[in-house]
Amino acid sequence: MPSTADTDSRVLYETPAAAVARLVLNRAESRNAQDTHLLYDLNDAFDRAAADDAVRVIILAANGPHFSSGHDLRETGHLENWKAHRRVGTYCGMSCGGAEPTLTREKELFQGLCERWAAIPKPTIAAVQGKCISGGLMLVWPCDLVVAADDAQFQDNTLEMGVGGVEYFAHPYELGARKAKELLFTSDWLSAAEAMRLGMVNHVVPRAELESATLKLAERIAKKSPMALKLAKEAVNGALNAQGRKIAMDNAFHLHQLAHSHNMQVHGMPVDPAFFQPGPLKKP
């Protein structure tokens, strides 16, 4: 039986098999929407698994019908919530004025944490079911492998919010340039089968087999040398960075911040309020 943290926790920590840790998003009632607290709890869980020498492979999964509905748009007191946690970046405090507090918080939470997770020196596998929307992609994309249920659907609908894409802008690397543009321009859904065809997903399995198939893959990888796994991961990540991935993502992140600043000037809020009105492409 897996060992599990408090079931009331936002993120559960399980050990479903020898050398495998499974981190489980546990806000099913909100479709695993990501507020500040959940992201820091997830970071703590990743840190725990990364520091445990008995763990060789880390699975990221989610309870409920959907993997993640993205950022929790109902969260209030963002900056105060952010202050309550041990921050891992070296950014300014919250006394900064203008656009800097928002930029600083998002650089820590949405770009900084994703980069930390992508660099963990152990293989990581995302197990995705149901909807995975915008910020949900930022949990999947830092993982090394992706196993999707056949009902999984992926979407970045940030253009509906008057923003040019999520903060961890891996779209061209995950989908190719033209498909990335189509996904962003239309806010359409990407099926699990199409995501696998494009190379964003490694395997598509029946929904009922998602947990077992992901665990089977993790156990197979966990038999390999931890040092060899680490070196292979760093080699592939290094190849992506040599292609300019980090520079390109930094550029996209700053354009994202420009969109927030523009919306504040035009609408008095960081996103276009039209997103919150009923419509065919609005919130599901």
The CATH number that applies at residue 88 is 3.90.226.10
Sheet of 145-149: strands edge to edge?
11-17, 20-25, 57-62, 124-128, 145-149, 203-205
Give domain status of residue 41, yes or no.
yes
Give domain status of residue 2, yes or no.
no
Give domain status of residue 5, yes or no.
no
Give domain status of residue 168, yes or no.
yes
Q: Are 19 and 54 in contact (CB under 8 A)?
A: yes
Number of domains forming the structure of the chain: 1
Tell if the pTM clears 0.75, that is, is over it. yes
User: 15 lies in which domain range?
Assistant: 11-276
Q: Is the pLDDT of residue 95 over 80?
A: no
d(CA 61, CA 55): 16
Q: Is 143 helix (H, G, I), strand (E, B) or coil?
A: coil
Q: Is 172 helix (H, G, I), strand (E, B) or coil?
A: helix
Give domain status of residue 283, yes or no.
no
Averaged pLDDT, 54-71: 97
Q: Is the pLDDT of residue 4 over 70?
A: no
Quick: pLDDT tens for 222-240: 999 999 999 999 999 999 9
Averaged pLDDT, 130-148: 98
Give domain status of residue 281, yes or no.
no
Give domain status of residue 3, yes or no.
no
Q: Are 125 and 58 in contact (CB under 8 A)?
A: yes
Give domain status of residue 284, yes or no.
no
Q: Is the pLDDT of residue 281 over 50?
A: no
